[in-house]
Structure 1
C-alpha cells in the first residue's frame, strides 16, 4: 500500500560491484509479506566519490500492508562492511480522512433510525460478511455501564419506546479491525417526548445517620430539578416544603450530599420537584416512634438576635406570623408563652437546625399544656360532647361505625385503595393504544394503586419470558388480595379467538406480534380460572367504549364485572377499592373519575385517529409494510395449559 522510499548511502567495497540489500518487513498482520531488494553499484562509480554521500534512491510502490501497521526497513552491504540501517515506518491509520475515503477497510458505517411499534436501528448498506458492534450509551452519564451488541449489515436492533431517553447515543464500528473509525450519533437528543422516561428512571437515595440526612439523586440524562425537606402531618396529607431548605440538584455529582441538623420524625420527608411536578417523595423516618400529642404546631424562627426574636407558623409551606395564623385561634396569648418555651425553657423539639442553633430553625411545639391551662371549661365541654357521641354510638353502633370509618378513610385516596395490587393485561392494537394503557396505568398508580403493567417491566419480561412473568405476577395478586384487569380491544379479541382455536389443552404453537406482551401467554392462566369458577373477586373486565363494542366480549369473561371506560369510571374505581358502597366514597370517587377521564380523553382521540389512518390505508391496499409491524406478525410461542 503506497510507496516507501529511503535514501541509501554508498560505502566503499571490494570487487567489481558494490551491493546493498534492502529488506521490507511488516510487524503486524494481516500480511506476512517480506520483500528484499538488491542494489548493485559498479566499483568504478563508487571510487569517484570515496566520501560518504548519496548515490541514488530506491522506490517500491506495491507493498501490501494494513492501516496503522508498522513496517521495518533494513539496509546493509554484502558483505557487511558497516552497521545495518534499521528504520521503522508507521503506516497512517484509518483516522486519516484520505484513507477513509479511499480504503475500503477504513469505511465508516452509517445507520438509519426508524420509529415504528418500537424503535429500529439498522446499518445502511452494511457488509453482509464483516461483523459490526453497536454500543448504546448515555452521553451525559459516563460512569454508567454501556452495552455492546453484535450486528451484521442485514440485521437491526430494537429498542422499546419506554427505554429511550434524550441522551441515549449509539456507536457503530467494524469489529474485525482494531483501528476502525466509529460512528457516534445521538438521534433522540431533541425529542422532548422521551423526557418523562428520564424522570421515571431517576432515583433518590436517602441515608439517615444521627442528625445528618445524606441524599443522592441520579438520572440518566441532564435534568433541572430541586430537592427540599418537607413536612407531611399524616400519610394522607400533601408534603409541604420547609422554607430555605430547597437546593438545586446536580445530576452528575455522584456523591452523597446532606441536610444537617435534622431531627428524626415520621412527618419529616424529602421531595424532588422538576417540570412543575413532584417527582419523588420519600420519608426516611417512617418507622420512628414519637410521643403522641393532642395538638402541636410547627414553628420557624424568622428572626434571632439579642434585641429581636420572632416566630412564625409554617402553614402549607409559608411562614405566617402568629397573629395571622389560621391554625392558632389564641395566637395573641400563645405567642408570649411559645417565646418563653423556645428561648428560656427549650421545650420545643428542633426538627431542622441548618446552622446548629436557633437561627432559621424549624421547631415542633406541643400545645397540650396551653390548652389545659387556658381552656379548662372547654375540656369539660369536650368531655360532655364525647359522652354524647359515645351514647349515640351505643344506640346506632352499626350506622355510626360506617360513618366514622368513612370519615377516617374514605376521604383519602390512600384509605380508599390501600395501595391494592392491580395487574393490567392488554393486547396492543398499535402504538397509540399502548400510550392509552400507559396513561390509564399512571392514573391508577396516582390514586394510589400498586399497578403492574408489562410496559414497565421490559427487563423482567426478557429474562423470564411472558408466560413465567405473568404466572409470577398472578400469584402475587392472589396472595395479596389484588385484582387482574383484562382490557379488551380488537387485538385482544383476536387473541382470544386464536387461543380457543389452538386447542390449549395440548402443547401447540402460537404466534404473537409483540414479543413483550403478556396477554397471549396470560390466557393460559386466565381461562382456567374462569372455567373452574375461581374468577370471582380476582378479575375485572374493561374496554374503551369509543374503540371497542362491549357486546363483542366473549361470554365466558362476562362472569365478572364488566365496565366501559370512561363512562363507568366511578363504578370501575369503586370495584378496585374493594370497599363498602357509601355516599361519601361515591362522591370522592366521582371526583377522581372526572380527573382520570380528562387524562384519558386525549389518548383515546389519538387511538381513533390512528385507527382511522389504518382503515384508510387498508382501503387502498397500501399496508404491505405496516401489516408486518402493526397487525399480528406471529412468531412461534409455545403454549402450555396451566392448572
Structure 2
C-alpha cells in the first residue's frame, strides 16, 4: 500500500513539474497554475484588509521569482511568479455557502470535495499591499499524499513593480514572508543583497535575471532594453575607424569613448577615429539623447586586435626620480602611464655597459591601484625602498605581450644636472658674444661708409626715397630710372619707384598714391626725387601756362596727339604737390631734382615750378646726392 501511494505521488509530482515548466513568454495576463487534483482553480483580486485567517490550508514554503512575460511578438513585461507549497487539512472547516444542507447526499459530496483558498500578497516601498486569492476544490481521496500540493500564481504587469524595485511577498494564512529584488537594467549597477528571509532560489533567479535581462534573445521585445548600437569599420585607405549606426541610420546617436570599464567616458562628436588612437581597451558607449531613459549600449571591438595593442605599447611612458621618506631615507620613485592598464613587472638596475638588474626588487604592475589622469592616460606609481641610489640607477619595464623590455629609464643625477646647466650657460654666453660682435661689425661698417660719403649719418635709421620718373616713352630713360632705384636699395635706403607701383597707382589714383608716399616720408624721413629729362621740362612749361586754349592751339599745331607715358600722370601730380609745398615754404626739404642727361639745359632754363629745388648731375655728383639723402 505504501509503495502504491508513493508511486501515485511521483506521477502526480511529474505532472506538476510538466505544468510548472510552461514557457513564461506565453503569459499575457494574470494566471494561476494548480495540480490536476485541485478543481476549479481560480484567482481574483482581494483587499488585504478584508482577508480572514483560515485553518483549512497551511502554506509550508513560499518562493517568489521575477521573470519576463512575453506573448507572440508583443513587448515583454515584468511578471511576478509566486510558487507556494501548501498542506490541505481534510478535517478543516468547510466553507459556508450561506444555506443549510437539505439533502444528506449533497452534504457527503461537498464533504468529500471541500473548497479551500490561499491568499498571496505583494508590496513595494511605494505601493500598498496587493493580494491575489486563489480558490480551488479539493478532490479528496483516502491517500494522505494528495493533501500536499504546489500552486503557482503568475501576476503580469504587477502594480508598482519596475526594474530595480524591492518586492516583499507574503501569504495568508501562515504569514510566510519573502523578499525578491527586480534587477536594474543599468549595466554593472550594484544590486542590494536580499534580507535573511530571502530564499536561495529567489537570489539565484534574481542574479540570473540581472545578467540576462538585456542580453536575452527577446531583448528587442523589451522596451527598456531598446538602445541604439554602434558598428565600427576599419578603413585602411584613410587609416581611420568609421563609426556607423547598427540599424543603418545615417545619423549617429550620442557617442562617448571610454578606456577601460572604470574609465571616464569622453564625448566624441566625430564619425571617425584615427587608427593610431585606437587601443585594445577602447570602448564606445552609445545612447539616444531624445530617449526617456538613459540606458546605453557598450561595445569594445578592438580588444583582440594586434594593431590596437601596438598602439598601447607605443604610448607607454616611464619617468623616474628619487624621493625621501618621512624618516629621511632615500627611495627611487617611478611612474608609468599608458592608454590602458597593463600587466607586467618593473625592477631597478645599474647602468654600466648594460643595465644589470638589482635582485629582490621586482614589482608587479597588476598590484596596487591604477588611476586615470586628466589626459585620459592610466597611471601606476611605485617606489623602491632601501636601495642604494648611486650614479647610474635606472628602471626596466616588462609588459606582457611585448617581445622586448622597455627601458632603461634613469633618473637625473643632481651633480650631472649641475654640470649640464653650466655647459648650457657657457654655450649661451658664447652665442651671445658672437651675435653682439656681428651687430657691432655691421654698425662700424655703416659708420665708416657714412664717413667716406660725406660725414656722419644717423646710423640705424632707414630713410625712404620716392623716385619719380619723367613722362617719357623712351625705354632707355625708364631703364636708367630703375638702375638708380636699385643703386639706392643697395645702399640701404627704402626705395619706392613709380614704375614698380603701377598696380597701386591704378587702384588708388596717381595723386592719392603720391600723397601716401609723401606721408611715409614725413614719418620715416627721406626725400622725393624727381628725374628730369627734355620731355619733363616741356611738360613743366605746359603746366605753367594754365591756359587750355593755348594748350589746345599748341596741340593742333603739332598735329595728331602722341600717346602719353603711363608715368605722366604721376609727374603732373608731383608738380601740384611741389607748388603746394612751395607756398608752405618746404618744397626744398621734401623734393630733389636729378639730371641723368649731361646735355640738358642749365638751371636758368628750368621751368618755374621746379626752380629753387636742389639739382644733382649724375653720375658726377653721386656721392653728394647720397649724402644729401641721408641728412
The TM-score, its normalising length taken from structure 2, stands at 0.31
Structure with the greater alpha carbon radius of gyration:
2
The TM-score, its normalising length taken from structure 1, stands at 0.31
